[in-house]
Structure 1
Amino acid sequence: MAYKNLRHFIDTLEQAGELVRIKSYVNPELEIAEVTDRISKSPDGGKALLFENTGYDFPVLINSMGSYKRMCMALGVQELDDVAKEIEALFKMLSKPKESILDKLALLPKLGQFASWMPKVVSGKGACQEVVMTTPDLSKLPVMKCWPKDGGPFITLPVIHTKDPNTGSRNVGMYRMQVFEKDMTGMHWHKHKVSAKHFMEYKKLNKRMPVAVILGGDPAYTYSATAPLPENVDEYMLAGFLRKKKVELVRCITQPEIEVPADADFVIEGYVDPSEELIWEGPFGDHTGYYSLADWYPRFHVTAITHRKDAVYPSTIVGIPPQEDAWIGKATERIFLAPIKMTLVPEIIDMDMPVEGVFHNLVISQIHKDYPGQAQKVMNAMWGAGQMMFNKILVVADQGETITDYKKLAQYVFRNLNPATDIYLSQGPMDVLDHSCSKMGFGGKMCIDGTRKYEEETDSAYLQVSAPKTIDAAAIMQQFPEIKAINSQLLAMDISCLLVAVEKTRPFHVKELTEQLYTLPAFAGIKMILFVEHTVDVMDLPSALWRFCNNLDPKRDSFIINQPSGQPGKYIGGIGMDGTLKTKVLDGFERDWPNIIVADDATIAKIDAKWNELNVGPFIASPSLKYKHQIYGEDAVVEL
């Protein structure tokens, strides 16, 4: 379905009962984010919110894609898998042998339809240029500051357009933009991104780089900007495919080399000068649930701002999951399953990215296994596939169990797992937002092979021993006072894993503690011990796993144990993994460590006081209250 503009999408949401209009004044600085954080963490993602009284000329739309239903509505489908099925059918049609002229003629309607989805540059001005700011001024837009330790206000949902200066090929991406002046922002593109490559090409040519940023329009534009497409695929081809209508583009006014959708709500035109000094940008409360560390990024100079007469400012917040971005990620997971299957991993059946893994940290794949070593083949293929190269923990299961029932999946994986032989540790490129890496953008990876094993994959030196159904947690904590809490509930579910909250006091503490615990007879058969900081509630499994995945560098922080079995030459495999905060003193960790994201007390109190007048439903307490005791201090970054 093609939306005429963002107002059309808003009207559709409202008719479906998926939108709440908030008429009371809510400040874009911290307050909108606090309201949205409460709503987005309510069951099924709550409702989309339209803040109509922001102190600016434009309303703010947020959480518009913050549920499965609204994500489907944004893409005009009943189910996200419908898109994957259509892509798979198209792949099969194009790759099918054409033996006769009739076979070839049968393709023509589909090819004609495909051609009708290609983006097209039209003459004249678009609705996005109905109003032209005579003097561009970003302070006229309701740019939000989301979290108290953010470096400033950020444009959080920008669709950024650049071109390769040599080939003219377009890239459309999404990179946050910190506003520094009325006509200047940062441009936070990571070195792995296509826009950063375009920037380097302009730097070689010693030329200014034209850039245009849109906000709003059809939500398919926003989604397509986030999609992990190959470099040579125009994002507006994907948008046209999703909306079943071509994207009409118009040339920018002050940067005519760049074209933008005619129906966008805002267009921010400008340039980046590669010869100019970089600017210190950040920190920023990011999708990991932690503040991303400040760093040097290019400056973006604004030369024009245009907008529709009825423009709506779209925004989003990211932070401790779940947030709106979880559903955008779910769309990517479902939509790109078909291309992965058709081009890279033909044995893949399904894929899942749990919310607690914040996209790159944890990916589960299910394959049809036919031979020994197939999980490792899949591991190598997936880690070499586009943005999947940022994946930290990959779990591979086979057709023996569904991967969306996490309890049954865990039972199956742990039954098949020998920690000493079936966990593969590697290194490679990582998301630059991953704070656990010893070096920015480079760190450890782990593949857990939970598939059923062929004889060739088993090691006779290891015995499979049944794990206990419970342990005496009190006795263990008495023996090891640094252990503050143990969650052994998974043992009773036939999942051979413990979560342990530990307060580290000496170098190599977790490694030594792992070795000491595995000397205890009670730990025979316990295959995995996950360690988290002593402030973490290990009984809150989703929260504990989110913290664990964020703070782990698998290669550096994993300790495989060969526990003597009592039989000569036979061992029992186990592994301990350190998902705690890392410091220079205790871990030799040289980088700063960011804090988790929580709202400040003053903002929480303001929203508590005005909640009833917002008319958004029953009172919801701030999600930040759950994590207040887990922050490391008042600073966003801990220098340790």
Structure 2
Amino acid sequence: MAFPDIQSFMRLLEDRGELLRVSAPVSVDLEITEIADRLVKSGGPAVLFENVRGSEFPVVIGLMGTRERTALALGVTDLDDLAKKVRALIDLKGRGGTLGMLGNVTKLGDAMNLPPKRVKTGPVQDIVWRGDEVDLSRIPILKCWPLDGGPFVTLPLVISRDPETGERNMGMYRMQVMGKNTTGMHWQRHKTGTKHLEKAKRLGQRLEVAVAIGGDPALIYAATAPLPPIPGLDEFALAGYLRGQRYPVTRGITVDLDVPANAEFILEGYVDPAEDWVMEGPFGDHTGFYTLPDLYPLFHVTAVTMRRQPVYPATIVGRPPMEDAYLIEASERLFLPAAQLIIPEITDYHMPPAGVAHNLVFVGINKGYPGQAYKVANGLFGLGQMMFAKVIVVLDDDVPVNHFEAVWRAVAEKAVPGRDTLTTRGPIDVLDHSSRGWGYGSKLIIDATTKRPEEIGGAESSREVQAGDLAHETVFSPAAAAELPDFDGVVAQRQNDDGYWLVALKKTRPGQAQELAKAYAAHPAAAGVRHLLICDEFTDVNDLQDVWWTILNNIDPERDVVQHGDLLTWDGARKLPEEGFVRPWPPKITMDPAVVERVDALWHVYGLPEQWR
């Protein structure tokens, strides 16, 4: 289904009761974030804020804040249908004579929708600000979290072109407002925009950039998708395929770039590679932690174009689950068939919200030989942005990869620490604050498949091995709270039914977590425990998702996942300079209590239902 623009999608959501209007005045400074955060975490509706203080434009947020709304936005009944759609497209057959070839006509017709369609102009160019008219403060750009360095554009579709090949790229890179006509450009070292800027620098020229805000939902999603480097396949092409018709683009007013004709706003301008970079951040990021200040290029806005009566679309990122979890799931489904073409034994995979996309991957396989789990995991590390994965858990195909607790139960039952765990090294997301180096660190593979005799060794190699043959009891009896040991700094702890010991530690000295690990491994309460999970004092040990979210953000596996006897200890406490960690350790994102209190008091004024409060 093709939506003419984002406002048509909003109208559909409103008709379905999935978009509410708030007419009471609201602030872009933290208040909208607090409201939106509550709604997305409770499965609530999208919201149109019609009366934004200090701006003439309304703000809409949460348009793809549920799995169902994301599927609707992408023109499918369910996100699983994306995999079926792509599988049908790539399964072009040359067999069966004339009738067999005729069966491909519909598929090829879908593929013909890939190239964008050039139009003379579009609604997004109805109003134009040039030169001194440009004033980004007139646009209701959000300050999302208390420690943020300023307002950030959070749904920008950043368009640039390779200065040598002419190939176009669109990506979603946050943009901090630096002045009335400048922003930061958060092009990380692995991003295509960075490569374009490096080429422009070699050629001694500015890099033209256009930033679309809005468009239809398919294009917004496409800007986040990890597209493979296939000639002719770009984000406009993907959006065209998803919407079933070619995407309308027009030429920018002051830049020689194609821009979406149906967007709400376009920021046109340039990045000068000869300029010094500017300090950008902090920013409350999708990891749930703040990304600390760093140097990035400066984007100069030379013109702003917009439609009449535009709406400013925004999102927030932060402590999961957030709206981006559903965009990540859409990419999972969309690229599953391609992954299976390359690694055919994959039956399914999932990147759970606790892993914030790059920290954790669950993958199910149809296992046929020993060592296959490691073959699959290493193959995934070589697939595009999967190179940033930190922990990959490989499972039998009968374990549902989207069932978080079932996966960790299978790990406890089938993965013996040391024997079935393997560390390696590679690229790490530059937003990872715990890696040993910027953009470089270690990775962990966990083989939680049923073992073949060759994978066990010793006397057992002469027969088939079943899950019950492993040392771990499939039914584990956790120790009572009174039986758990005291240790300096432990503020909460428990053992669960699957053999995990979860500990919240207030760390005050170097080596404290390692001391705890050794002491607990030697304690009688460790009998039968497979994993000791050490977190910070702000972690809820009764919430497995919260525990793993903290652990995965705070480990470099080779350094922090250590075996003590039969116990695998995960040190997810903060690292100190005295321990050789020279970079500052960022705080977890939390909202200002005064803002929380204000939103509580005004909830009835907003007119939002109590169930989502």
TM over 0.5: yes
**Smaller-chain TM-score bracket:** over 0.9
Deviation at 1:400? 3.4
Aligned counterparts of 1:188 and 1:214: Cα–Cα separation in 2: 15
The offset of 1:422, in angstroms, is: 0.6
Give the 3-state SS of the residue equivalent to 1:161 in structure 2.
strand
Aligned length: 598
* Corresponding position: 1:613 with 2:605: yes
* Aligned residue among 559, 563, 566 for 1:560: 563
Give the distance between the partners of 1:400 and 1:263, measured in 2 at CA: 45
Any stretches of 5+ residues in structure 2 without a counterpart? Answer: 461-469
The aligned counterpart of 1:477 is 485
Matched residues in 2 for 1:302 and 1:485: separation? 51
Q: Distance in 2 between matches of 1:212 and 1:604?
A: 36
Alpha-carbon contact 1:438-1:590 (below 8 Å) kept:
no
Of 49, 52, 55, the residue aligned with 1:51 is 49
Which position in structure 2 is the counterpart of 1:12? 12
Q: Distance in 2 between matches of 1:506 and 1:142?
A: 44
Q: Aligned partners of 2:543 and 2:403: how far apart in 1?
A: 18
| Secondary structure, counterpart of 1:340 in structure 2 | helix
- Corresponding residue number in structure 1 for 2:411: 413
Q: Distance in 2 between matches of 1:148 and 1:502?
A: 25
Tell me the residue number matched to 2:521.
518
Q: CA deviation at 1:525?
A: 2.6
User: What is residue 465 of structure 2 aligned with on the other side?
Assistant: none
3-state DSSP of counterpart to 1:133? strand
Deviation at 1:539, TM superposition (A): 1.7
Cα 1:483–1:460 change in 2 (3 A) is: farther
Q: Write the deviation string for residues 318-341 of structure 1: whole angstroms up to 9, x where unpaired.
A: 111111111111211222111111
Deviations 1:291-348 (A, max 9, x none): 1111000000001100000211000111111111111112112221111112x22111
Question: Please, which moves more after superposition, 184-193 or 601-610?
Answer: 601-610
Q: For 2:400 and 2:154, how far apart are their aligned partners in 1?
A: 35
Return the alpha-carbon distance in structure 1 between the equivalents of residues 412 and 472 of structure 2. Answer: 12
Work out the CA distance in 1 between the residues paired with 2:320 and 2:472: 36
Q: 1:577: how far off?
A: 1.0
Are 1:120 and 2:112 matched, yes or no?
no
TM-superposition CA deviations, 1:1-53 (whole Å, max 9, x none): 110111101100001110000001001111111111111111xx210000000
Contact 1:612 1:619 in 2 (8 A): no
Q: 1:371-405 CA deviation, whole Å, 9 max, x = no partner?
A: 10110011111111111111111111012322233
Whether 1:129 and 2:125 are equivalent positions in the alignment is: yes
Equivalent position SS for 2:610 = coil
Aligned counterpart, 2:536? 533
Q: What CA distance in whole angstroms lies between the structure 1 residues aligned with 2:408 and 2:150?
A: 42
Over 3 Å counting, the alpha-carbon distance change for 1:459 and 1:518 in structure 2 is farther
Counterparts of 1:227-242 in structure 2 under 5 Å?
Answer: 227-232=225-230, 233-242=233-242
* 1:183-222 alignment runs, 5 A limit: 183-222=181-220
How far 1:461 moved relative to its partner? Answer: 9.3
Equivalent position of 1:604 in the other structure: 596
Q: Which residue of 2 aligns with 1:64?
A: 63
1:625 counterpart residue number: none
Q: CA deviation at 1:505?
A: 4.5
Q: Compare 539-548 and 302-311 and name the one that shifted more.
A: 539-548
Shift of 1:236: 1.0
**Alignment partner for residue 502 of structure 1, among 500, 505, 510?**
505
- Say whether the 8 Å CA contact 1:58–1:312 is kept in structure 2: yes
- CA separation of 1:140/1:465 partners in 2, compared to 1, >3 Å: closer, same or farther? closer
Letter in 2 for 1:237: A
* Alpha-carbon separation, structure 2, partners of 1:7 and 1:110: 30
CA distance in 2, matches of 1:396, 1:547: 21
1:101 Cα offset (Å): 5.2
Partner SS state of residue 549, structure 1: helix
Q: TM-score, normalised by structure 1?
A: 0.90
Q: Which stretches in structure 1 are left out of the alignment for 5+ residues?
A: 564-572, 622-640
Aligned to 1:569: none
CA distance in 1, matches of 2:160, 2:502: 46
Q: Which deviates more, 331-340 or 166-175?
A: 331-340
Q: Which moved more, 1:128-137 or 1:171-180?
A: 128-137
Q: Quote the Cα distance in structure 2 between the aligned partners of 1:521 and 1:28.
A: 54
**Distance in 2 (alpha carbons) for counterparts of 1:484 and 1:30:** 30
Residues 485 and 520 in structure 2, CA contact (< 8 A), matched pair in contact too: no
**Does the CA contact (< 8 Å) of 1:465 and 1:524 recur in 2?**
no
Partner of 2:452: 454
Q: Which residue of 2 aligns with 1:428?
A: 426
2:267 match: secondary structure = strand
| Native 8 Å contact 1:438 1:591 kept in 2 | no
Separation of aligned partners in 1, 2:271 and 2:285: 24
Amino acid aligned to 1:320:
R
- What are the equivalent positions in structure 2 for 1:541-556 lying under 5 Å apart? 541-556=544-559
Deviates more, 1:503-512 or 1:388-397: 503-512
Counterpart residue number, 1:584:
577
Report if the CA contact (8 A) 2:352-2:402 is conserved.
no
Mapping of residues 314-393 of structure 1, within 5 Å = 314-342=313-341, 344-393=342-391
Local SS of the residue matching 1:322: coil
Give the stretch that moved more between structures: 204-213 or 346-355: 346-355
Q: 1:148 to 1:481 in 2, by over 3 A?
A: closer
Rounded Cα–Cα distance in structure 1 between residues aligned with 2:360 and 2:45: 27
2:151 alignment partner in structure 1? 153
Looking at structure 1, the residues matched to 250 and 165 of structure 2 have their Cα atoms a distance apart, in angstroms, of: 20
Relative to the length of structure 2, the TM-score reads 0.94
Task: Give the Å deviation of 1:245.
Answer: 0.8
Q: Look up the match of 1:29.
A: 29
Tell me the distance in 2 between the aligned counterparts of 1:76 and 1:468.
Answer: 45
User: CA contact under 8 A between 2:413 and 2:472: conserved in structure 1?
Assistant: no
Residues 273-312 of structure 1: pairs in structure 2 closer than 5 A: 273-312=272-311
CA distance in 2: counterparts of 1:403 and 1:581, whole angstroms? 29
Q: Which amino acid aligns with 1:7?
A: Q
Q: CA deviation at 1:540?
A: 2.4
SS in 2 for 1:426: strand
SS of the residue corresponding to residue 265 of structure 1 reads strand
Give SS of 1:365's match.
strand
- Residue 216 of structure 1, CA deviation: 0.8
Q: Note the alpha carbon deviations across 1:204-227, whole angstroms, 9 max, x for none.
A: 111100000001121111000000
Structure 2 counterpart of 1:247: 247
CA distance in 1, matches of 2:28, 2:258: 30
Mapped partners of 2:472, 2:213: distance in 1 = 57
The separation in 2 between residues aligned to 1:67 and 1:109, in whole angstroms, is 31
Distance change in 2, residues 1:126/1:414 (3 Å): same
Q: 1:99 to 1:608 in 2, by over 3 A?
A: closer
CA deviation after TM superposition for structure 1 residue 506, in Å: 4.1
RMSD: 1.8
Distance 1:409 1:34 in 2: 32
Q: Per-residue deviation at 1:275? A: 0.4
